[in-house]
Structure formats: structure tokens, C-alpha cells
Amino acid sequence: MKSHNIQNILFSEQQIRKRVDELVVKMAGDCRSDNFVMIGILRGSFVFLADLVRDLYEHDIHPRIDFMTLESYGRGMVSSGTVRVTKDISVDVGGADILLVDDILDTGRTLTFALQLMKDKGAKSVKSCVLLDKPSRRAVPVKADYAGFTIDDVFVVGYGLDYDSYYRELPYIASVTTVEDDA
Ligand code: IMP
Ligand code: MG
């Protein structure tokens, strides 16, 4: 039987806290639009977005906030990953300055799709913020405007990121490995 192990902690709660504060200082200037909307890509972004918006509040920034659920199919299959919307946003983003928030930028397919979707909906500008960036995995050339930490090609969990829907509640980010159990 296969199970999985939390291996080592890559970023502690304190390190994440400090980095989120730094990102917010950097992005605050860009958020001073009178039509500013933050959109979290579910499900992995919910913890990160919750920390960002409470930090932005300290900078007197008051966005409209919405979420959308994107799911990708075909990951791991050569150049056939496609993304679809399973829950769309409900705010009107016509003319808005949008900040997309995601947990991790991996192949880049999800973010590329989300950026285009927001443009198609008539956004005035679209920027992006991810907590983690795995540039070595990129299949589509896309960069986030703000990225917390760059990591190697390891599978990570915690702070919103999951393995099979587990571990999202961990306050830190850790790598996870699959192990063969003894019979
Ligand atoms: P992309 O479209 O390949 O960039 O996919 C990004 C999505 O894949 C993220 O929003 C995560 O949901 C998921 N993902 C990619 N790498 C990891 C990881 O190491 N741990 C957990 N989820 C991951
Ligand atoms: Mg995700």
C-alpha cells in the first residue's frame, strides 16, 4: 500500500509571515485603484489570500474579493494539459484592475488561462501574485508579477496547498513524498 510522508519544512510559519509582509509592501502601490478586485484561484489560494487582504487592509487597501475554481486535466501528459472553470467569479470585473492570487505557479497553464479569462471579461489590467514559483516545471512561458519563494521541483503541501485534499491547514510549507508501506 502507498502512503505519504511529510518530509522537511521548507518555509516556517514565521518565514511565510515575513515574506507575505514584504510582498504586500511591494504590491500596495499597484493596488491603489478605485476599481481594485482580488481574485483567488481555488482551492489552494484561500490561506494566502486571507493573509494578503488582512495585510493590505493595514495599508488602507479595500478590494472587492471573489474566487474562481479552475481545474486542469491532462497534467503529466505531454503538452495536453487543459484548464477549465468549474466555478466562475460573480463580480463584474469590466474596467477593473485585477490581482489574481494563486498558491503556486507550476506548469503555468492555470495562470495563463486565468489571465486570459480576466482580459476576456473586460478587465482594465490584470496582475498576478503567487506564493510559490517552480520555474523548472514551466510548460507555458508566464511570470507572476509578485512571487513569494522560488522552489525546486518538489511536491509541497501546507498553507493552502494539498496532497489529495489533505494538509491544507498546515501553517508551514513542507515537502511530501510517497512511500511504499510494508505489507
Ligand atoms: P499549473 O497550471 O501547472 O501552474 O498548476 C498550478 C496548480 O497545480 C496549483 O494551483 C496547485 O493547485 C497545483 N500544484 C502544483 N504544484 C503543486 C505542489 O507542489 N503541491 C500542491 N499543489 C501543486
Ligand atoms: Mg490550485
Tell me if 146 is assigned to some domain. yes
- Taking the centre of ligand 2 as the mean of its atom positions, its distance from the CA of residue 42, in whole angstroms, is 6
**132 Cβ closer than 6 Å to some ligand 1 atom:** no
Domain of residue 39, CATH code: 3.40.50.2020
Q: Which cell is 72 given?
A: 486542469
- Express each pLDDT in 5-42 by its tens digit: 877 999 999 999 999 999 999 999 888 999 999 999 99
Tell me if 106 is assigned to some domain. yes
Among the bound ligands, name the one nearest to the CA of residue 144: 1
Q: Whose CA is nearest to atom 17 of ligand 1?
A: 155
Catalytic residues: 106
- Express each pLDDT in 62-89 by its tens digit: 999 999 999 987 544 444 578 999 999 9
Atom of ligand 1 nearest to the CA of 102: 10
Give the global pTM. Answer: 0.93
Tell me if 148 is assigned to some domain. yes
Tell me if 167 is assigned to some domain. no
Tell me if 27 is assigned to some domain. yes
- Express each pLDDT in 86-137 by its tens digit: 999 999 999 999 999 999 999 999 999 999 999 999 999 999 999 999 999 9
> Which of the listed residues 4, 80, 104 should we mutate to test ligand 1's pocket, taking the one with most ligand atoms within 8 A of CB?
104
Q: Mean pLDDT score of the chain, rounded to an integer?
A: 92
Tell me if 169 is assigned to some domain. no
Range of the domain at 28: 12-152
Contacts of 96 (CB under 8 A, 6+ apart): 33, 35, 36, 37, 64, 123, 124
Tell me the CB-side half-sphere exposure of residue 82, using CA atoms within 13 A: 4
Number of domains in the chain: 1
